[in-house]
Structure 1
Amino acid sequence: MSQRVGVVGDEAFAAAVEGAGGDPVVGAASDLDGIEVAVADGEAAVVDLLRAAVDVPVLPVDAGSGVRSVPSSDLESALERVLEGAYRTERHPVVSAQRAFNGVRALFDVMLVAAEPARISEFSVRCGGESVARFRADGVVASTPAGSVGYNSAAGGPVVATGTDVVSVVPLAPFATDADQWVLPLEEVTLSVERDETPVELLADGRTERTVAAGEPVTLSTTDAFETVVVPESVRFF
């Protein structure tokens, strides 16, 4: 019996699954039952699978180097290896951001950002209960190793190696010419809005979750891990 492979995103990937000898199951991330591995078309599909709490290994396709995705042009050969069991997996920390609300989960990054264009606010970063920095900026982003090669890197933050339980924290468009960036232990980071002068939104993996008020700190913690497939066709992390 051929292995059932979930496909989220490009339905054309079903043909690649069949070509590799698998049985494609195409649908929304929350509707995939009885599958043994999932294929995610792009970063959005990876996030959908995370939020659906799919508990099988995920093969990311065209989803960036942070999750060592494979190019779509190499998908069929990558799937052949997967269905033969010739692959390894990597586990990426999943971040929970919470305070006086139900926690939101993120694989790549958590961000506090001014909701209105061309507006800034004041933010602070704490680690282990101690103040790290306070600054005026458009926002602040805390990125996991998987997310550190994306928006974080574009904003000037350091790339963090896979397997480390840290986050890269970077001010977004800071109102200063000498702003710093920090690599901090994930379990000990708190982000806060310090002034109630403009609405600030909490984003998880680029998706708006809620408004965060001044005096409502957002504490990060690790909830679980997200497992991805690594094959020779996977891109290098760096």
Structure 2
Amino acid sequence: MVSSVGLVLHPTKLVDTSVDTVLEFARRHPLRVLARDTDRDRLPPGVSLVPPETFVSEAEALIALGGDGTMLGALRLTVGRPVPVLGVNHGNLGFLVEVAPAQLSAALSRLEEGDFTIEQHACLDVGALPIRYGFNDLVLGRAGRAGAISVDLTVNGLRYGYYRGDAVIVSTPTGSTAYNYAAGGPVLSPSSQAFVITPVAPMAGIGRPVVLGAGDRVTLSVAADSGPIAVDVDGIATGELAHGERVTASLRANAAQVVRLSADEHASRARIKLSLLDLPLRRDQLVELIPPELRRPHPPSLGD
């Protein structure tokens, strides 16, 4: 049974309705609601404010109120002390978040009763960067429009070649449906314990995605002929790399726990979202994505 939950708020969107739902639930149950004191101006009375450095240690679960970006931020907070993280979708597509605001009260009841499953998520450990953990991806891209990037690839201490192009994406299975997918990279199963390096608009060197295993460690070193390189972790700018500098990445298994109330329904919704991003499905496969109560027969066409 969960007795305390921490709220992680979208940095700008109004999530007041969901905060009120959590507080209303807490008034009827022995549940402590806490948040970081940096969000004090956005929270009503009834929420316990704690310093950011003790936030996760005092919470038995987190509720991320926002979209996938907010969810990724919540997951990064829990590396080192994984606690269940429930995502409430105040965003758009939302591949990671499962619950709509109207479903939050029922979800809290199930969370309190322990009626949920845990989906383990791996992350990239990117070492000395300001943001150390990435649950989606690490991206080395052109800083502004100044020339192509050029980086050398080393895997487990062995040199494997180089990339020259617009960007290089190092992606987890979770992030494989994001920038990696848009750049032509493969979708990785969450159970694969693998990660993938995908070049964007390659001009020379390695031109195809490379899939690596959980025990591999990669180093990307900036070559002398490279233009300025900007580094992003989970879509957040974390600085630039100069000639001779490098970044390392390895996969950290079971780094965070995502709450799943219905894994099958979430997987079905994810298929719909991927189909909107041009995942090739046949007509009968598309029909499978529609809830049975919404389906209706259609007359055969000449193409059937």
Specify the TM-score bucket, using the shorter chain as the normaliser.
0.7 to 0.9
Question: Percent same amino acid among aligned pairs?
Answer: 29
User: Structure 1 residues 228-237 or 206-215, which shifts more?
Assistant: 228-237
- TM-score normalised over the length of structure 1: 0.82
Q: Is structure 2 residue 170 aligned with structure 1 residue 114?
A: no
Equivalent position to 2:22, from 2, 17, 21: 17
Q: Distance in 2 between matches of 1:220 and 1:26?
A: 31
Contact 2:88 2:99 in 1 (8 A): yes
Letter in 1 for 2:21: A
User: Could you say which residue in structure 1 is the equivalent of 2:133?
Assistant: 105
Q: Deviations over 1:137-186 (max 9, x none)?
A: 1110111111111111111111111133211211123236x931121124
Which moved further from structure 2: 12-21 or 75-84? 12-21
Q: Secondary structure at the match of 1:15?
A: helix
Alignment of 1:11-160 (within 5 A): 11-18=16-23, 20=25, 21=29, 22-27=31-36, 28=39, 30=52, 32=55, 34-41=58-65, 42-53=67-78, 55-62=82-89, 64-65=94-95, 67=96, 69-98=98-127, 104-117=132-145, 119-160=147-188
* Residue type of the alignment partner of 1:61: V
- Which one-letter code corresponds to 2:74 in the other structure? L
Tell me, in whole angstroms, the C-alpha distance in 2 between the residues paired with 1:191 and 1:91. Answer: 27
Q: Which structure is larger by alpha-carbon Rg, 1 or 2? A: 2
Hey, what's the Cα distance between the residues in 2 that align with 1:163 and 1:46? 20
1:7 aligns to 2:7 (yes or no) = yes
Deviations 1:104-139 (A, max 9, x none): 221111111111126312123332334444232111
> CA RMSD, aligned part only?
3.0
Letter in 1 for 2:68: E
Task: Pick one of 169, 172, 181 that aligns with 2:200.
Answer: 172
Change (3 A) 1:2 1:149: closer
- Find the residue that maps to 2:189 and give its secondary structure: coil
For residue 223 of structure 2, the aligned residue among 182, 188, 194 is 194
Unaligned runs of 5+ in 2: 10-14, 40-50, 272-304
Verify the 8 A CA contact 1:91 1:163 in the aligned structure 2: no
Offset of residue 19 of structure 1: 5.1
Asked if 1 retains the 8 angstrom alpha-carbon contact of 2:148 and 2:164, the reply is: yes
Provide the C-alpha distance between the structure 2 equivalents of 1:25 and 1:7, rounded to a whole number of angstroms. 6
Match of 1:220 among 225, 249, 254: 249
How far, CA to CA, are the matches of 1:166 and 1:232 in structure 2? 25
Distance of aligned partners of 1:2 and 1:205 in 2 relative to their CA distance in 1, 3 Å threshold: closer
Structure 2 CA distance for partners of 1:69 and 1:132, relative to 1, 3 Å: farther
Higher strand share: 1
Conserved 8 A contact 2:146-2:228: no
Q: What is the TM-score of this pair, normalised by structure 2?
A: 0.66
Q: Paired residue for 1:235?
A: 266
In structure 1, C-alpha distance between the alignment counterparts of 2:71 and 2:97, rounded to whole Å:
12
